[in-house]
Chain A
Amino acid sequence: MAYDGKDKVLEEVTGKSYEFGFTTEIESDKAPAGLSEDIIRLISAKKEEPEWLLKWRLEAFAVWQTMEEPNWPHLNYEKPDYQAISYYAAPKQKKQLNSMDEVDPELRRTMDKLGISLEEQKRLSGVAVDFVMDSVSVATSFKDKLAELGIIFCSMSEAVKEHPELVRKHLGTVVPTRDNFFSALNSAVFTDGSFCYIPKGVRCPMELSTYFRINESGTGQFERTLVVADEASYVSYLEGCTAPQRDENQLHAAVVELVALDEAEIKYSTVQNWYPGDENGKGGVYNFVTKRGICHRRSKISWTQVETGSAVTWKYPSCILKGDHSVGEFYSVAVTNNAQQADTGTKMIHLGKNTHSTIISKGISAGNSHNSYRGLVQIMPSAANARNFSQCDSLLMTDTSGAHTFPYVEVKNPTAQVEHEATTSKIGEDQIFYCLQRGIDAEQAISLIVNGYAKEVLNQLPMEFAVEAQKLLSISLEGSVG
């Protein structure tokens, strides 16, 4: 059964132009298109930023101007015109609907399938939320609890104003402005993002998520996240959401920096479901993200990602294992359908002694999509007894999709042990036959097999995310039986 691209829920939902989302912007609050020093000064002024940050932005801009957009990824897309983008817009107002009846029924069906609670559905679709359940009040109560422990969790703009010493100390230390084209761009123009600080010895009692501050302000297309876990602390951070997200900003260039000080642990989970464009990939989001964490002595950073959206994904969550005995992990499921393209993977840079890293990457390609794993495992001469295990598997659903693997292994220490293995295959006909025999239809069988295939990664997600992510996988692949 070949993929026909018709009468499937997700196709219908995502194929439509988005009628229900945002109100048109007010011209006066929007900076003119283009990027220049003046625009950066404008952004900085609007956000009432201190002098040092403006200077930092301008330096990043100067570096960015000397850089070229990378063309090494295995991606084929029209490069955005960076002078045609408006780099500052006031936070958008969501149009308030009066009841769930006004919500697009197809969107509702998708959300029902995902098992999103009614309240959550209302919030996501912009329905005025019941006063008692107002997420702001919920968020506030959480915030009090976090404050008691000394945990700082706020927007980047707030952090710049209220905790400048922390921000200044860590901002740009993991992803330097000149790291790459997109990180330089982000450093110059980032509008907002999240900041999180966990004090010494504190174990954050809940999963931190951007959910909680959804009503505060839109984070815009150039998001900057900084998570600092002080000595012997622990935090689990969730980013994104499983419900389909629309955004008129085609280009997203975010930067995420994690700092795990001695004996700290950071678990960073992402579910990405940006608008992937129509069947031909038109209008989908370009997701160019730089994510990197630095591990100090005996610390651990664990990245888990479920990537199902975006027309083009360029994303390599990485770990610099600087401290002795530090651990880096990367678990990824990337699903591409229709004309989506993903070039994603990780970098594990071993500097400290006895550092360990694990990479599990599961790619699923359907439709006419292309899914690439690109990874680097680098063992520097100082990294005695370093250990890495990498596994990247690809599942092909159709004969017009592609699965590619580009692993780089660089070893400069003889005591290191590095293993990489990769396989590519399709869903076995006998597996499907087995399910059919037992009364499980083809669609469900695919969902079952795919979820089994991705289980190693899904298991790493926090509980509530994992359930939704499983359903998301099934929906993303609806109608793609190869």
Chain B
Amino acid sequence: MDNAKPQLMDRPKAEAKHAASETSGAALVSALDELLGVQADVALDAVPVPHRRVERWKYTPVAAWWKDVLASEVQTVAAAGCEANPVPGLDAYRLVFVNGTFDAAASDLPVHTGVMCMPVSQRGDAPLQSADAFSPEESDWFAGLNGRYSQEGLYLRVAQGVELDRPILIHHHTCGAGVFNVLRHDIALGLNASVKIVQWSTAAAEADGAVNVLTRADVGEGARLHIDKVQDEEGTVRHIAFEDIRQGKASQVEVHTITVRGAWVRNDLAFRINGQGAHAELNGAFLPGEGEFVDNHTTVDHRVPHCTSSENYKGILYGKSTGVFNGKVFVRPDAQQTNAYQQNANILASDMASMNAKPELEIYADDVKCSHGCTVGQFDSDALFYARSRGVGLEAAKAMLVHAFIGDVLKGLAVTEVRLEVEHRLAEKHGWDVWSDHLNDDA
């Protein structure tokens, strides 16, 4: 079967355009055209502007997006007043982007044989990978926005057999009002190359605007790519992130998405497994607090036989928050011997929280093992009772259960310092003293 051509499952479902959304979308586009200039000729009228009748956006309100977009000022870390390295103790190469501009002073680019790592703006004539029929740009309006306006991001090429000695930390920072922070990271790993990337997003408390990050990675045969993605944004920033990952034979890709804080966050991961023997791992934890919204969409497209994928998303929802999980596993007709696993467990920790989950399987091959599980529940009252009968306060007991609940996701993070910092920030946000006891265990 020719996997290059869209098949049955790719057939476009004509989704209705919604007049009011189209108008708002068009207004945003014309404002952005004027502010940023069109970087790539990406037409946006082929896909509907998101609204709740579009299946992919059923649970995700986008009204906040249509606020006025102002010129994003060129900013540096120094001007923004944030620390260059958000992860204490992490020894990593660094690329810092503030409001979508590269901050050379705060960055520390690797000088390493076989590695080209630089901001997109400095790559010269080297081409970026282009979008194709399966890329998010073709199916999602916001990804289209990214394609149209992005001009900066990470440009990374790792040659055959090169294993980068330290992780690359990409730090996105947003500050000021009315910011449109758009970035595109372009990654290609050669045969048996290996690299760890940390994507860390922060925003200042007074920040307001939108962040739109698209990461495109082509992972060659036998290569390994680990991405630890942490979102800890204050202010009222809307964050949307796309991952467009293509995996070659026997490659391994892991993406760990941890949402610590964020008024409105949407992660949209798409994995295409093009080579036999490849493994994809997608893990995530989200702990939205009062008024926050977190949406995790994932697609794993098994196109060839003998591949595995594993997905584990955990959510704990506090205050008046909303969570969304949509996991999709495709197994194409020829992808026999696929082993795909998907798990999503959620805890509603308050009366006002709500969770919408949609774990999907679409399977067109018979010799496969595919399963998914999804649960929504609350803290185990027996476990709480056990802890309390031993003198642990209710809140502390809950914090302990949270630690256990998301522990397997946190353990999966590729970089230990990232895990420790995530735990520290979560404990700080939610006021869990009890967590500090665990911080330096099994580091």
Contact = CB atoms under 8 A, between A and B. Distances in A.
Interface stretch (A133-141, A145-153, A217-225, A409-417): A409-417
B390 interface: no
B361 A424 contact: yes
A403 B361 contact: yes
A401 interface: yes
Interface stretch (B155-163, B200-208, B249-257, B372-380): B372-380
Given A71-B14, A416-B377, A423-B370, A76 B8 contact: yes
Contacts of B354: 410-412
Contact of B374 (A72, A397, A407, A417): A407
A404 B376 contact: no
Contact of B367 (A401, A406, A417, A426): A426
A425 to B, nearest CB: 6
B336 A399 contact: yes
Contact of B358 (A68, A409, A412): A409
B364 interface: yes
A415 to B, nearest CB: 6
Which bracket fits the contact residues of A? 35 or more
A402 B369 contact: no
A416 B358 contact: no
Interface residues of B, number: 40
B55 interface: yes
Contacts of A187: none
Contacts of A407: 357-360, 374
Contacts of A416: 348, 376-378
Interface in B356-409: 356-378
Contacts of A102: none
A404 B366 contact: no
A424 B302 CA distance: 15
Interface in A103-119: none
A419 interface: yes
Interface string B78-118: 00000000000000000000000000000000000000000
B373 A409 contact: no
A482 B366 contact: yes
Interface string A49-91: 0000000000000000000100110101000000000000000
Interface string B44-83: 0000000000010001000000000000000000000000
B5 interface: no
Contacts of A402: 8, 362-364
Nearest to B364: A402
B368 A425 contact: yes
A381 B352 CA distance: 8
Contacts of A397: 366
B353 interface: yes
Interface string B1-37: 0000000100101101000000000000000000000
A413 B377 CA distance: 9
Given A421-B372, A422-B371, A424-B370, A408 B351 contact: no
Interface of A: 68, 71-72, 74, 76, 379, 381, 394, 396-426, 482
Given A406-B358, A421-B371, A423-B371, 13 more contacts: A72-B13, A394-B361, A400-B333, A401-B366, A402-B8, A403-B363, A404-B360, A411-B348, A413-B348, A415-B378, A418-B376, A420-B373, A424-B368
20 contacts: A76-B8, A76-B11, A379-B376, A394-B361, A402-B364, A404-B361, A404-B363, A411-B355, A414-B348, A414-B351, A416-B348, A420-B372, A420-B375, A422-B371, A424-B361, A424-B363, A425-B368, A425-B370, A426-B367, A482-B366
